[in-house]
Amino acid sequence: MAKRIVIIGGGAAGIGAAGAARGTDRDAEITVYTEYEDAAYSPCGIPYVHGGEIPDFERLFLGTKQQYADQGIDIRYQTAVRAIDPRGKNVRVGDGPPVPYDALVVTTGWDYGRSDVPGADLAYAVTAGEGRCVHRVWCRRGGGGRGRAQPGRYQRPGDHQDLELQTHANLLSTRRVRG
């Protein structure tokens, strides 16, 4: 029977662990659980996409969903592991039955929780952990790369308030810019 490897976390560490496991055991059943709609992207690159220095958002990803599938890495997107049972060697996902494992790797990384920075409660304030969400907000608000304010910044139509990606704080926050 193939070794069952469960990896919790779809960031660079989780995908790196999946690739390493695949490299050492071609027959292993590798399943990665991530709460996000994508896996292994570089949130630090988001301002460069919005500034036009990186041509498109897709270039921030280490690989495509199809490439992971072709490698035999089963990534369960938008799926949270809600419990780990080390004695029973299984994890609980949603309301389904326990998912057994022979090896468990936990790579949950940084907590992208909400900040107490003024403006973090606004509807369009999202964390960098939600990469596609950040990008959708950017596009909805009129961002589009070169020619829109400065790299990493854009001006919201209608209220003349600049928004700046604060990758250090891992959120999209607002601040008034006085000229």
12 confidence band (pLDDT: 50, 70, 90): confident
Model pLDDT, residue 54: 85
Fold (CATH) for 4-106: FAD/NAD(P)-binding domain (3.50.50)
60: tokens are: 């921030």
| Whether pLDDT at 139 is above 60 | yes
Give CA–CA dist 158/51, Å, rounded: 21
| Whether pLDDT at 156 is above 50 | no
| Whether pLDDT at 157 is above 90 | no
Mean local confidence (pLDDT), 113-120: 69
Which string of DSSP letters, residue by residue, matches 34-56? -SSSS-SB-GGGHHHHHTTSSS-
Model pLDDT, residue 118: 75
Residue-range domain boundaries for the chain: 4-106
Model pLDDT, residue 50: 75
pTM, to two decimals: 0.67
Model pLDDT, residue 130: 60
What are the tens digits of pLDDT across the range 93-116? Answer: 988 899 999 999 999 876 656 667
74: tokens are: 């089963």
Detail the DSSP E strand segments found in the chain: 4-8, 29-33, 73-76, 81-85, 90-93, 99-100, 103-106, 153-155, 162-166, 171-174
